[in-house]
Amino acid sequence: MTLSRRDFIGQAAAIGASLAWVGTARASRVKWTERRDLYPEGVASGDPDHNSVILWTRRPFASGERQVLTVEVAEDEAFRRVVAHAPAAVSAASDWTTRVLVGRLKPARTYWYRFTDPEGNGSRVGRTITAPAPNDARPVNFAFGSCQDINEGKLNAYRRMIFEDERAAPAEQLGFILHLGDFIYEVVQYPEEVKTRYDRTIYEVARLPAEPDSFKVSNFHVPLTVDGYRAIYKGYLHDPDLQDARARWPFVCMWDNHEFSWQGRQSIVQAGGDPQPGQTVKVAANQAWFEFIPARVAAPSGSLEQFGPPAVKNVKIETWDGNGLGLEPNNLAAIRSLIAYRALRYGKHLDLIITDQHSFRGDDPTDAEGVGKIYDPSFNGMFSEEAMIALDAGRAYEGGRPPDELHFRDVRIANPRKDRPPRTILGAEQKAWFKSKLRKSTATWKIWGNSLGALDQRVDPQNLPAEMVEKPWPADTYAMLGSNDYGAAYAERKEIYDLVRDARITGFAIVSGDRHSFWAGYAAATLPPRKFEPVGLSFVGGSLVSPGAMEAYEHGFKKKRTMRPIYLVDRPGASRPDWTYNMLLRHGVRSCLEYAKSFDLQRARALSNPQLSPHLEFVDMGGHGYAKVRLTGEEMRTEFVCIPRPITRSDRPDGGPLRYRVVHTARLWAPGDRPRLKQQVIEGDPGLAV
The per-residue pLDDT for range 9-62, each reduced to its tens digit, is 677 766 666 777 888 999 999 999 999 999 999 999 999 999 999 999 999 999
Q: Over range 216-222, report the average pLDDT.
A: 96
- Give the pLDDT of residue 229: 98
In whole angstroms, give the CA distance from residue 274 to residue 282.
17
Q: Over range 618-622, report the average pLDDT.
A: 98
* DSSP 3-state of 582: helix
Q: How confident is the model at residue 317 (pLDDT cuts 50, 70, 90)?
A: very high
- Give the pLDDT of residue 19: 75
Apex 578 CA angle, 574 and 579, nearest 5: 160
- Give the pLDDT of residue 2: 57
569: which strand partners?
Answer: 578
- Give the pLDDT of residue 321: 95
Q: Over range 189-200, report the average pLDDT.
A: 96
- Give the pLDDT of residue 22: 85
Question: What is the SS3 assignment for 488-557?
Answer: CCHHHHHHHHHHHHHCCCCCEEEEECCCCCEEEEEECCCCCCCCCCCCEEEEECCECCCCCHHHHHHHHC
How much is the mean pLDDT over the chain?
96
- Give the pLDDT of residue 476: 85
Residue percentage of the chain with pLDDT more than 90: 94
Residue 370 has pLDDT above 90, yes or no: yes
The per-residue pLDDT for range 124-139, each reduced to its tens digit, is 999 999 999 999 999 9
- Give the pLDDT of residue 23: 85
Q: Over range 381-407, report the average pLDDT.
A: 97
Q: How confident is the model at residue 5 (pLDDT cuts 50, 70, 90)?
A: low
Residue type for position 659:
R
The per-residue pLDDT for range 466-498, each reduced to its tens digit, is 999 999 999 989 999 999 999 999 999 999 999
Closest to 335 measured CA to CA, from 455, 203, 427: 427
- Asked if residues 679 and 617 have their Cβ atoms less than 8 Å apart, the reply is yes
In whole angstroms, give the CA distance from residue 230 to residue 289.
8
- Give the pLDDT of residue 4: 65
The per-residue pLDDT for range 529-548, each reduced to its tens digit, is 999 999 999 999 999 999 99
- Give the pLDDT of residue 15: 65
Q: How confident is the model at residue 588 (pLDDT cuts 50, 70, 90)?
A: very high
Domains along the chain? 1-130 (2.60.40.380)
Q: Over range 302-316, report the average pLDDT.
A: 90
CB atoms within 10 A of CB 466: 8
- Asked if residues 523 and 456 have their Cβ atoms less than 8 Å apart, the reply is no
